[in-house]
Structure 1
Amino acid sequence: MRRLSVAVPLLLLPGMALAHAGHDHAAPPAWTWDPAITLPLLIAAVAFSRGWLRLHGRSTGGRVRLQRRGAWFAIGWLVLAAALVSPLHEAGERSFTAHMTEHELIMLLAAPLLVLAEPLSAMLWAFPPGARRTLGAFGTAIAPAYRWASGAVVATLLQAAVLWIWHMPSLFDLALVNEACHAVQHLCFLASALLFWTAMLGRRGAGASAAADRALAGLCLLATSIVTGALGALMAFATSPWYAGYARLALAPFGLSPAEDQQVAGLIMWVPGGLVHLGAALLLFRTLIAPPRIADAV
């Protein structure tokens, strides 16, 4: 079920990813109440909550795990909502640092928390039996393609490609001025992060196969820390801004020049981003040398 745990959130991504209509840059950043963003977030919250309550009421065992899943979802949902709805979202139009912070919250915090919540089973219980059977049949049909896309190596390469391609100046500048293109950018970031963390945090088999899967996931996390760190380092050491959309603003918040704003954004991608992937890799490697009881609990 973990392999399909983000299938329903993925269906909601187009609305949640919509971003950045034009705003007055002279005014303080405001909250974003665009229904294209808030309604999918609300639908996801209602579907999970309703299904979770039904499961909790029927459950005679495993309630602790179910409660833990509910907590993961609540925290992940709040982080995602804060990134997309709070003034940080609109501030990303004016500051690359704010924009990078928004993306890091989505990809490094909200996405893994939502994956840990395994929301699909709970969301399915929000629907009547007939609809659950239909959705289950659809999930079965797409399962082979989803398993391939959420494989450790494929998901790692996909996320790396998404990050590097969308940070090309031509595409990034287009996303800053074109709402549809920006929606696709956010969709790619969130979808690739969900697939990546599904691959990294997914349940394993037993014995040697499980150990091999964990080792591969750990290596992929290390590779990701290097790949994203390299992109962040290039931004941090650049002496001129890469993106014309921010360069035109002349002065970013907090008195930073566009070049300085980009350097801070690069540091955010390089250091905190790299530490998250490195820390996750070390935790996975630790399970390889921990006693079996501890390893099986992860």
Structure 2
Amino acid sequence: MDELRRWVPYCGEAPGPEIWLSRWNVDPVLGAVLLLLALALWRVSVGQDVTPRRLLSLRCAWALTVVLYVSPLCALSSAFFTVRVIHHLALVLVMAPLLVFGLEPWLRRLPTPLWSATAIAAMVFWTWHAPAPYAAALSSDLIYALMQFTLLASAMGFWIAVRRSGPTAAMGAILVTTVLMGLLGALITFAARPLYAPHFASTLSWGVSPLQDQQLAGITMWAPGSIAYLAVAMWIGWRWLDAERARGLRADPA
């Protein structure tokens, strides 16, 4: 029955290749929220808490929101599970860090134990990529909003905790997340049959089978997703070693 169902997720019915570039999301509620945020970001003054870099980070997050939820990429995510995975990776790997950095002065008092935040972020990501919760999110705008909010909020909690932790603990949490991301991607890639009912028919007009789309989505999660986390861990390690080297030079100027 699910194979024959007409899925109409928040971003609209899955488009074909001939119309997808014209499929902009014109949700008036989202448009009003984005307009208000744009006005707020335009009027905000650079001061003690709002540095130019923080303001730029918030403006980039606003622009990414437009790309993810207004542009034709939103509609394309209704057609391809791969694009949905890219959408979710953008949320947790780009949007969340941008917001954490931009809003850091207002997030200081949030309790974010590192390993609890790591476990919650992983659990949320795995849950929404299980077939049943994923199908539910593409059946209801309310559940879809819950999916987007929990993915973003849990990722923000993770990156806040990483920023507050020492380099060893931060790298450990990121490496655990890398392994879990890779494992989920591998499970999706090597599944013997299509698992995601909303895409059983949505890719066919593009000449792509649902299993091919699913395999590409799994590889995207497995390779680029894991590599992105690994790159952050390496960057933290490099900064840590560089700081230790500089400290050693100061202690022994000769």
Letter in 2 for 1:269: M
Alignment of 1:155-194 (within 5 A): 155-194=117-156
State the 1:163 CA deviation: 1.0
Aligned to 1:87: 72
Aligned to 1:200: 162
Aligned 8 A contact 2:177 2:229 in 1:
yes
Unaligned runs of 5+ in 2: 1-8, 248-254
Aligned to 2:43: 50
Letter in 2 for 1:192: S
Letter in 1 for 2:60: I
Cα distance between partner residues in 1 of 2:191 and 2:116: 30
Aligned to 1:261: 213
Letter in 2 for 1:214: P
Cα distance between partner residues in 2 of 1:225 and 1:198: 17
Number of residue-to-residue matches in the alignment: 236
Identify which of 33, 37, 49 aligns with 2:30.
37
After superposition, the CA RMSD in angstroms is: 2.6
Cα distance between partner residues in 2 of 1:110 and 1:189: 11
Aligned 8 A contact 1:218 1:285 in 2:
yes
Aligned to 1:242: 195
Q: Deviations over 1:124-167 (max 9, x none)?
A: xxxxxxxxxxxxxxx89xx4xx31xx221111111100011111
CA distance 1:235–1:48, shift in 2 (3 Å):
same
Cα distance between partner residues in 1 of 2:160 and 2:129: 23
Aligned to 2:19: 28
Question: What secondary structure is seen at the aligned counterpart in 2 of 1:242?
Answer: coil
Cα distance between partner residues in 2 of 1:284 and 1:277: 11
Aligned 8 A contact 2:14 2:202 in 1:
no
Letter in 2 for 1:181: I
Runs of 4+ in 1 over 6 A off after TM superposition: none
CA distance 1:86–1:258, shift in 2 (3 Å):
same
CA distance 1:294–1:155, shift in 2 (3 Å):
farther
TM-score scaled by length of structure 2: 0.83
Unaligned runs of 5+ in 1: 1-18, 122-138, 205-212
Identify which of 143, 154, 169 aligns with 2:116.
154
State the 1:120 CA deviation: 5.3
Question: What secondary structure is seen at the aligned counterpart in 2 of 1:68?
Answer: helix
